Structure 1
Amino acid sequence: MLGNITRREEYDLFAAWLAISLSFAIIKMAPYGVLGPITAVEPMVALTYLVIALLTAGIGLVLHELAHKFAAIKFGFWAEFRKNNFMLLVAVALAALVGFVFAAPGATVIYNVRPDGRVLTREENGKISAAGPLTNLLLFIPFAALFFISGPLSLVPNTLLYQIGIFGIQINAMIAAFNMLPISILDGNKVLSWNLPVFVLLLGASFAVLVSSFYIL
């Protein structure tokens, strides 16, 4: 399956992974951006934040897009992720200026006509769209496990793993919740057009995990 990832797609995913991870690392260091209160951050602390972001936000983004791609391939349609350089720049700039990340690094482009001439159906499009947010929700499991075994259930707490666990839960819940909004080209709009109960279930689960991650953890 990984052999279906093209060289250009590898480059685009890598660029998006770095840019989005950098954006989230920036808001960890400066929650209000350069326009707010600035606190000096030591180089090792900054590097730690970047590593955490790479392993949480970055991985969440890449797996989200690959889920769309592989779901489309399963139905017989070709799909490739394409980065948007302008939106990557916007993500980093907003994080640096005001401490806000607008994560729209690009999109997985689906070629909606198969070689045999059959076109993509509404159901198939809905399932392909649901695959991304569902993947982010499933990532809750390993990150939650990491959170508990390195914190509450650990005899020797590991701060780095603990932070990766918390941030991984929060960021992937954010990605899922944002993409499930029934707006424009977002996943939620396509899922809603296909199946209302699935839309409600994924949207509710996304926001439930998101809210609980901030008020319970």
Structure 2
Amino acid sequence: MRRAADRCAAVIRSMEWGARLYYLGEGAAFLLAILSVAVAYLWNYWDPIYGVLLPTIAVAIAIVPHELAHRQAARSMGCLSRFVLWPTGFLTTLILNGIVGFIAGGPILFISGYTAISCYRYGTSQEGLISLAGPATNIAISALSLILLHAVTGWSVFLQYLSRLNAFVAFFNLLPLGVLDGAKIFKWNIAVWAGMLALSVLLWI
């Protein structure tokens, strides 16, 4: 009986911890989401500027505009929307990026949070357009970074990385799997999905 009670208490504590993460304000949620990706760069401590700081800024530029684009697209359609942290995704992203960062020096996972949406009416076209806003923003940032690369001197390493990171985030989110943006865009319009995926791959390579 005591073991069962201890297990129940542990489950309740974990649920309370998860709820606290879920109901964080947007600013704190974004900060933790960025941290869960940027942890992959901490192994580059020997180069704090180019190895840690600038890649972390690139991560913030890849994550925050992506989610804000989802949020604003949803709000423009009369929906309630805000970015929330997903406790399970946050821990998975934090741990895996920490491990992979030691080996590869960069992140591979971006599932710490998502844009929660509540709409009175929410059809396939609305879902597709809202989902499209995030990857489209990453593709735009990636393309702009490449343009700036040829116009601005002294920032070539950062702009190259910013372009590739945004292209990768777009590609990752466009995979037609599970709850990723790609699955919703694919369901709405296959031609748009294919075009966006092709663009993300071209910018990435």
Q: Which one of 20, 27, 30 corresponds to residue 10 of structure 1?
A: 27
**Structure 1 match to 2:20:** none
Q: Which one of 117, 120, 141 corresponds to residue 110 of structure 1?
A: 117
SS of corresponding position for 1:110: strand
Which amino acid in 2 is paired with 1:22? V
SS of corresponding position for 1:139: helix
Give the TM-score, by structure 1 length.
0.75
**Structure 2 match to 1:137:** 139
**What residue ranges of structure 1 are gaps of 5+ in the alignment?**
1-5, 30-40, 114-118, 212-217
- CA shift, 1:10, in A, is 1.8
- CA shift, 1:103, in A, is 1.3
Q: Which one of 14, 23, 36 corresponds to residue 19 of structure 1?
A: 36
Q: Which one of 146, 150, 160 corresponds to residue 148 of structure 1?
A: 150
Give the TM-score, by structure 2 length.
0.79
Q: Which contiguous aligned blocks of 4+ residues in structure 1 show a shift greater than 4 angstroms?
A: none
- CA shift, 1:7, in A, is 7.8
**What residue ranges of structure 2 are gaps of 5+ in the alignment?**
1-22, 102-106
Q: For 1:200 and 1:135, locate their aligned partners in 2 and report how far apart those are by CA, in whole Å.
A: 16
Two-structure CA RMSD over aligned residues (Å): 2.0
**Structure 2 match to 1:62:** 64
Matches within 5 A, 1:1-217: 8-23=25-40, 25-26=41-42, 29=44, 41-42=45-46, 45-99=47-101, 100-113=107-120, 119-150=121-152, 154=153, 158=154, 161-211=155-205
Q: For 1:13 and 1:130, locate their aligned partners in 2 and report how far apart those are by CA, in whole Å.
A: 20
Q: Which one has the bigger helix percentage?
A: 2
Q: For 1:82 and 1:193, locate their aligned partners in 2 and report how far apart those are by CA, in whole Å.
A: 24
Q: Report if the CA contact (8 A) 1:20-1:58 is conserved.
A: no
Q: For 2:114 and 2:160, locate their aligned partners in 1 and report how far apart those are by CA, in whole Å.
A: 26
Change (3 A) 1:54 1:191: same
Q: For 1:21 and 1:146, locate their aligned partners in 2 and report how far apart those are by CA, in whole Å.
A: 24
